[in-house]
Amino acid sequence: MKLGSALLVLLVPTAALAHSWYPYECCSDRDCYPVAVEQVKSTTGGWMLLDGTFIGHREARPSPDGRFHICRHEDGKGKLIAIPGRPACFWAPIGAS
């Protein structure tokens, strides 16, 4: 039992660090996750995801870790989270097009 508790304690901080930079406004530390580069197609005006979601270059946020990330409603299965007057909750590597 002690070993299981120790493993849980070790895993929890790692999970928290993985999401530590996602802004609260986008996901409240949930509903945000990395997107594999194979899931993103670069277009002239932005990025198209395999599900048909389009994010324009001006709508995206710069990714602090050089990877694509997205926040979606409904535990990642719903629409892209977007706050009026703010960039969408989608991060793209700087210079990616």
Which domain covers residue 53, as residue numbers? 2-92
In a domain, 97, yes or no: no
Collapsing DSSP to helix, strand or coil, 33 comes out as strand
The residue with greater pLDDT, 75 or 3, is 75
In a domain, 23, yes or no: yes
Question: Could you give the number of structural domains in the chain?
Answer: 1
- Round to whole Å and give the CA distance between 94 and 72: 21
- The residue ranges of DSSP E strands in the chain, in sequence order, are 32-35, 40-42, 46-49, 54-56, 61-62, 68-71, 90-92
CA neighbor of 42 nearest in space, from 28, 57, 29: 57
* For residue 10, pLDDT beyond 70: no
Tens digit of pLDDT for each residue in 40-90?
Answer: 999 999 999 999 999 999 999 999 999 999 999 887 788 999 889 999 999
